[in-house]
Structure 1
Amino acid sequence: MKKILLIALLALSAFPMRADEGMWFLMFIERLNHRDMQKMGLQLTSEEIYSINHHSLKDAVVQFNGGCTAEIVSKDGLVLTNHHCGYDAIAELSTAEQNYLKNGFWAADRSKEMKPESLYVRFFVRMDDVTKRILAKLNPNMTEAEREKAVQQESELIQKENSEGGKYVVSVRPFFQGNEYYYFVYQDYKDVRLVGTPPESLGKFGGDTDNWEWPRHTADFSMFRVYADKDGNPADYSPNNVPLQPKHHLPVSLKGVQENDFAMILGYPGRTNRWMPAQGIEQNIKFSYPAWVEGAKTGMDQMKKYMDKDASVRLMYASKYAQTANYWKNRQGMIDALTKHKTVAAKTDQENKFDKWAQKPENKAKYGTVIANINKFYALTNEKSRHDNYLQQLFRTTSFGTSYNTLGRGLEAYVAADEAKRKEMYPQIMASVESMFKEIYLPAEKDLLAAQLKLYSTKATGYAIAPVVAQISSENNGDFTKYASEAIDKSTVTSVEKIKAFLDAPSAEKLQNDPLLQLSKGLITHFSAKSDELTKAQNDYGVAFRLLVEGLRDSKIGTIQYPDANSTLRLTYGKVRALPKDARNDAKINDYTTMEGMVKKYKAGDEEFDLPSKVLEMNKAKDYGRYADKKGYMPVNFLTDNDITGGNSGSPVLNGKGELIGIAFDGNIEAMAGDVIFDKDLQRTINVDIRYVLWCIDKLAGAKHIVDEMDIVQ
């Protein structure tokens, strides 16, 4: 182990460990966590969790399509993840006539498993520390841009050295705000096929009402299979591919869970901001997140209007709506939780202590202006952050807000190309366009664009709005309805047929006069523009934030022992842990929910709380099979106090023996501040009980052949 790492680890050991807090690197488990985990109930060695030379738990945990986590549960590459993680793929494979999203699907055999257009899983191979190597290329006199360039150049060398000629994907990532660097080696498999999914009434039971809430009763799971060539290597889709034989797959436990049982989760948490300065949190609460919430709700309302009228339109927008709704509720929850917990005040108190330390003669030259520069940056960007979030919701919820980037640039390149190059580009452009327009309904897009432009032009005015929008607003007395409709009607880029006609007779003039492309270009240009003042403030902020994290660690004023999440594989451990008794939950201890409780929420015909009649019948007959708890009830969801965030969706929840007991899928709204500050009393992870998963597959769907693939531990 490198000297710099030993120093860091010795520093960490000075702090008391809190078992329920932390997203830990697997390579440090032996040194930092293993003894603590054993005391709580772990029965595995650290080598059985993470090993480079032998199979281990890390070989059964994959990143799912770049944004979720999944686990391998059979020797033939069977994959479990969340229903909401598989949502895109399920919607893509569905039609109004064969609506797998609504009705569910289970492949009768492997020949019936279905390949979505684009879906992959990423296996983690190994990681290593390159802090000393990269920091040797940097010096304090560099601007942030120069520093970034030097890091990028050295990272590219590291990636090339470890990719084995392209066999592996290698990623060098910064940690502790650029004070440490590690590289990660992955292997991607792109032939991933849908095996099964429960109907949406179970997979999304509770809908937006129950999202981020406890008690929950949701079958948030779906199932896929990884395929490889005959030698087990990654391969593009082929009917000749065979199920992957993984290095490790998880045994599945039917023993159930009870209060204080050990539970660990491996997964790919996306982003936490626990080192974020006080004024950054203040900016989010008062400027960024309120704009995000309002912009998301505006988009949702327009989508929903058309989704409710037509099943085919509902499928087109199902995924976008679900993602928008998820963050809409999350960001409002963040505002409420961060305000309630007085997080800004707590962070300010820590920064005051830091600044007092920084002003000491021995520290002042390096750290003396850190807090001042950080606060100056946020004061300068508060209104811009509000503006940017309104504009980002326009980009996220409309299909044409970013059309200059998604279509315009490519068409400009096509116009400028010679005949031979155009022939090469034509099929690529058309394939992309045909895929894109499967999820676009023009009447909805007209209303989405008009509503978002109206919101942006009237609410983002603390910072100058895009000139193109100001002009349109002036010409139309602030009403964007007519403009949006006409712009979409006149544009060259609003249908497959129009784009095909353009490719057959390309014209630079058409692109330059296209109202939608010019709107999009103006929005993107304005969004990306930076004044000299802002550029300098961002540079000073980048330096100051890095020094803040370094100083908090060196001074021991900061108590966080682990780097922020950034979509790299982490382990979190804790226990099954109840929340205070809740009258809404029929369970005897408020750490689990039951099918009986789910049926009590049932509302016939309700979009969020309807249930298949077969579920009602089987519950009435207590037809639970071997999946019932020993106390007689049918378990549905349960709580642990693991430390997770977005990206952990689909992560395996494991007992002390490394057996699968559940699938993580949500957090509780009371602890929504968890991405910024961990609350050891309130923070919970909501998990699907694996027994309910198996009941849905075996008893409800009659797909026992899939359960039979798994190694079931009674």
Structure 2
Amino acid sequence: MKKIFLLCTFMLSFAQMKADEGMWLMMLIKRLNGQDLQKKGLKLTPEEIYSVNNASLKDAIVQFGGGCTAEMVSREGLLFTNHHCGYGQIAALSTPEKDHLTNGFWAMNKSEEIPAKGLSVRFLVRMDDVTARINALLNNEMPAKERRDIIDAEYKKIQSENAESGKYTVVVRDFFNGNEFYYFVYQDFKDVRLVGTPPNSVGKFGGDTDNWEWPRHTGDFSVFRVYADANGNPAEYSPSNVPMKPKHHLPISIKSFKPGDMAMIVGYPGRTNRYMTSYGISQLVNKDYPGWVDASRTAMDVLKKHMDRDQATKLNYASQYASVANYWKNRQGTIESVHKNGTIEDKKKVEQVYQEWANKSDNKDLYGNVLPEMAAYYKTTSSKGIERNYAAQMTRNAKYLAYATNFSSMFKNYMDETDAAKKADLKKTISERIETSYAKFNPALEQEMLKEMVSLYRAKVRNEAASPHLQTINPALLDDVAKNSIFATKTSMMQFLNKPDAAQLNNDALLKIANGFTKDSRALAERYTVEDDRFSHNNRLFFDGLRKSNPKTEFYPDANSTMRITFGKITTLPFREDRDYNGVKNNFYTDIDGMVAKYKKGDEEFDLPQELLDLAAKRDYGQYADAAGYLPVNFLSDNDITGGNSGSPIMNGNGELIGLAFDGNSEALSGDIVFEEDWQKTINVDSRFVLWVIDKLSGAGHLLQEMTIVK
């Protein structure tokens, strides 16, 4: 049985923990055993990592766009993140005439930087523990609704107490399956501008083929700048805004490193489920994720069919396709990894020990039935889980459903408004929303997407969980239901806005489909309310029992999109016979020679700019070459990360940037469920390659003048 390490933020003894497992809350960094960290290479003090009153490492790390991480790298608000994190913004700022996504883009001065509409970054100001405060109001006997109401009320009080009249955004989160609570105070900056991006052939080199695979040769980075008002405060975009001055920015190291050297990552990991039971994992990989994979593949086929027809559609839907493809491969890989690595069997062994403890007389009343009831829950709700995955992909990709639901509500509010001034404001708001939503909208693609996703849902979701409205639709209606709808195009939407008619809206066939599905979804959720509430109760008790039954074992909280730090080291991965390493003998890095060896002229995944090929042929690496003479591209570490960590800085023990985390490896795609000690790695783009692309390949060396480069 592989060793499973469950680590706790409260009783943190680094001497007993594995350096590579666990995502730690920043405010608890002082509880790490500093001496052991120093032996492993950490040169920073806890105060230099997390401080409320003084500049610290946390002040250089931001949540980027809500789903990624980025880091400040200059005193002038410059930030690095992944190319795939900036992908949607880069695509949105591209046209067939100015195709920044395909060709790359670099602003030669600040006036050329392009505002990224709708993009914001979030800085953590501070966090605090409110577990005792909230738990003092709760008990295990109270009804689920009463518990939720109490928690919600305290959340609102905590937010009000710390928001300072709207200056800050305050988020309260539960941890350890609802046993503990912390709040986070953030400051959001909404004027963010694109500074530079390598061509897609560099930023996405290897495409779907190499995604989640090692070795990688990808320049997965992009550069943005954060702006503030004249006083340094967050502000909406304005030409008068100035580059913000972060409290701290990361120095960038171009020094060589080797396996065993300390590496730490700070970022915003999205979601892990390390305490999921064997029953939940079985449902996930045998029922839920196969539905996700199936629906994603259908959506990708529709997208690619239309994207291949013209460049405008390719640009407009590039971000959506990349996101769907990424998760499609992730979910498929997770299924394979769980079965290959014996994850379910390992969980069963943990549960057997837990049940033996729970059956003891002192524990039986509260904990004895927890696991049996959780097992029964998954049997009862299995069909609902499958439906949820097909429905999620349908609503995510079939935009007509969301547009019909959202815009119909706006139209009704507009028609009901009697105040002339308010009516005029509503019309302006709706008009702007229509313009934004339909600006890069392909009606033919969306009509086919709607038909294919609804048809797949009808075919694959079991009747006991399926939407009755979708199941009883005449299939012929799906062929062209959107074509005659109010929501078909920007033109039809504007025509309706200028001459609204309630009867026309209520009789719209597309809206009837959307409303019927929404109504059925609510009914399905309500049908399982009792089961879901009981599961939440048992899930909380399960973790509580885990902790009490293992008093000498230490536990860490699952990721939940809050800032975390993870410690590890530069590492290697065993060679695989089915992968080409292009001459690299020490399997912790890849170099530009390997990148060039994969080059295929004109290939969508493996093409490269001629300028890169020429520089590589001349071995013109400048100061960015490794001490051994090669130009590094990517490298491996054993840090514990997940989705949301994309773009996170990976740093040496001095807190200097050595790269950007951008991927994991296929051998450990079950990592969101269990940390695979022997296999779980982080794939990073080397900071030396990032700077080489900016300086040598792109001619934007002026940006390096505002960075702190450590040689």
Report if the CA contact (8 A) 2:174-2:180 is conserved: yes
Q: Distance in 2 between matches of 1:439 and 1:596?
A: 39
CA shift digits 1:197-241 (9 cap, x unpaired)? 000000000000101110000000000000001111111111111
Q: Distance in 2 between matches of 1:267 and 1:599?
A: 31
Report if the CA contact (8 A) 1:272-1:565 is conserved: yes
Residue 266 to residue 33, structure 1, CA distance change in 2 (3 Å): farther
State how 1:40-119 maps to structure 2 within 5 Å: 40-119=40-119
More displaced stretch, 162-171 vs 657-666 = 162-171
Q: Residue type of the partner of 1:523?
A: F
Check if 1:666 corresponds to 2:667.
Answer: no
SS of corresponding position for 2:16: coil
State how 1:321-360 maps to structure 2 within 5 Å: 321-360=321-360
Q: CA deviation at 1:532?
A: 6.6
Residue 120 to residue 13, structure 1, CA distance change in 2 (3 Å): same
**Among 532, 537, 544, which residue is 1:543 paired with?**
537
Report if the CA contact (8 A) 2:447-2:483 is conserved: no
Q: Residue type of the partner of 2:516?
A: G
Q: CA deviation at 1:143?
A: 2.3
CA shift digits 1:677-701 (9 cap, x unpaired)? 0011100000000000000000000
* Structure 2 residue aligned with 1:195: 195
Q: Distance in 1 between matches of 2:52 and 2:506?
A: 55
SS of corresponding position for 1:650: coil
Check if 1:683 corresponds to 2:680.
Answer: yes
* Structure 1 residue aligned with 2:580: 584
SS of corresponding position for 1:554: helix
Report if the CA contact (8 A) 2:383-2:465 is conserved: no
Residue 343 to residue 97, structure 1, CA distance change in 2 (3 Å): same
Check if 1:598 corresponds to 2:595.
Answer: yes
CA shift digits 1:171-209 (9 cap, x unpaired)? 111000111001111101000000000000000000001
* Structure 1 residue aligned with 2:249: 249
Q: CA deviation at 1:517?
A: 1.0
* Structure 1 residue aligned with 2:4: none
CA shift digits 1:82-130 (9 cap, x unpaired)? 0010011111111111000000000010000000211111001111100
State how 1:416-435 maps to structure 2 within 5 Å: 416-420=416-420, 421-435=422-436
CA shift digits 1:34-62 (9 cap, x unpaired)? 33321210011111101111101100000
Q: Distance in 2 between matches of 1:533 and 1:15?
A: 48
Q: CA deviation at 1:145?
A: 2.4
Check if 1:500 corresponds to 2:490.
Answer: no
Q: Residue type of the partner of 2:522?
A: S
**Among 634, 649, 653, which residue is 1:652 paired with?**
649
State how 1:339-418 maps to structure 2 within 5 Å: 339-418=339-418
Query: Unpaired runs of 5+ in structure 2?
Result: 1-7
* Structure 1 residue aligned with 2:609: 612
SS of corresponding position for 1:708: helix
Residue 217 to residue 570, structure 1, CA distance change in 2 (3 Å): same
Q: Residue type of the partner of 1:701?
A: S
SS of corresponding position for 2:439: helix
More displaced stretch, 289-298 vs 429-438 = 429-438
Q: Residue type of the partner of 2:688?
A: R
Residue 464 to residue 675, structure 1, CA distance change in 2 (3 Å): closer
Q: Distance in 1 between matches of 2:456 and 2:686?
A: 42
CA shift digits 1:502-527 (9 cap, x unpaired)? 12222221221111111111122222
Q: Residue type of the partner of 2:44?
A: L
Check if 1:631 corresponds to 2:631.
Answer: no
Report if the CA contact (8 A) 2:271-2:559 is conserved: yes
SS of corresponding position for 1:184: strand
Q: CA deviation at 1:400?
A: 1.1
RMSD of Structure 2 on Structure 1 (CA): 1.7
Q: CA deviation at 1:141?
A: 2.8
Report if the CA contact (8 A) 2:9-2:557 is conserved: no
SS of corresponding position for 1:401: helix
CA shift digits 1:578-600 (9 cap, x unpaired)? 01134611222110001000111
Q: Distance in 2 between matches of 1:171 and 1:446?
A: 38
* Structure 2 residue aligned with 1:264: 264
Residue 292 to residue 48, structure 1, CA distance change in 2 (3 Å): same
* Structure 2 residue aligned with 1:27: 27
Report if the CA contact (8 A) 1:353-1:557 is conserved: no
SS of corresponding position for 1:138: coil
SS of corresponding position for 2:209: helix
Report if the CA contact (8 A) 1:350-1:557 is conserved: no
* Structure 2 residue aligned with 1:450: 451
* Structure 2 residue aligned with 1:556: 550
Query: Unpaired runs of 5+ in structure 1?
Result: 1-7, 477-481
* Structure 2 residue aligned with 1:184: 184
State how 1:6-21 maps to structure 2 within 5 Å: 11-13=11-13, 16-21=16-21
Identity of paired residues, percent?
Answer: 51
Q: CA deviation at 1:531?
A: 7.0
CA shift digits 1:370-390 (9 cap, x unpaired)? 112211111111122112211
Report if the CA contact (8 A) 2:296-2:325 is conserved: yes
Q: Residue type of the partner of 2:655?
A: G
* Structure 1 residue aligned with 2:317: 317
Q: CA deviation at 1:9?
A: 6.2
CA shift digits 1:137-170 (9 cap, x unpaired)? 2222322222122111111111111111111111
Check if 1:520 corresponds to 2:517.
Answer: no
CA shift digits 1:341-393 (9 cap, x unpaired)? 22112112212221221121111121122112211111111122112211211
Q: Distance in 2 between matches of 1:697 and 1:15?
A: 41
CA shift digits 1:549-608 (9 cap, x unpaired)? 111011118956210000000000100000113461122211000100011111111100
Q: Distance in 1 between matches of 2:522 and 2:681?
A: 38
TM-score, normalised with respect to structure 1: 0.96
Report if the CA contact (8 A) 1:384-1:462 is conserved: no
**Among 501, 504, 520, which residue is 1:510 paired with?**
504
Report if the CA contact (8 A) 2:404-2:487 is conserved: no
Q: Residue type of the partner of 2:610?
A: S
* Structure 1 residue aligned with 2:3: none
Report if the CA contact (8 A) 2:119-2:191 is conserved: yes
Q: Distance in 1 between matches of 2:10 and 2:706?
A: 45
SS of corresponding position for 1:487: coil
* Structure 1 residue aligned with 2:166: 166
More displaced stretch, 167-176 vs 503-512 = 503-512
Q: Distance in 1 between matches of 2:592 and 2:663?
A: 19
Report if the CA contact (8 A) 1:354-1:557 is conserved: no
Q: Distance in 1 between matches of 2:152 and 2:704?
A: 46
Q: Distance in 2 between matches of 1:12 and 1:704?
A: 44
Q: Distance in 2 between matches of 1:623 and 1:115?
A: 33
Q: Residue type of the partner of 1:427?
A: K
Residue 272 to residue 464, structure 1, CA distance change in 2 (3 Å): closer
Q: CA deviation at 1:462?
A: 5.4
More displaced stretch, 11-20 vs 99-108 = 11-20
Check if 1:491 corresponds to 2:485.
Answer: yes
More displaced stretch, 407-416 vs 8-17 = 8-17
Q: CA deviation at 1:464?
A: 4.0
Check if 1:568 corresponds to 2:547.
Answer: no
* Structure 2 residue aligned with 1:479: none
Check if 1:437 corresponds to 2:431.
Answer: no
Report if the CA contact (8 A) 2:77-2:246 is conserved: yes
Q: Distance in 2 between matches of 1:132 and 1:306?
A: 55
* Structure 1 residue aligned with 2:703: 706
CA shift digits 1:418-441 (9 cap, x unpaired)? 243322211111111111112320
Report if the CA contact (8 A) 2:11-2:554 is conserved: no
Q: CA deviation at 1:12?
A: 4.8
SS of corresponding position for 2:289: helix
SS of corresponding position for 2:401: coil
CA shift digits 1:309-361 (9 cap, x unpaired)? 10000011111101100100000011001111221121122122212211211
* Structure 2 residue aligned with 1:5: none
Q: Residue type of the partner of 2:467?
A: A
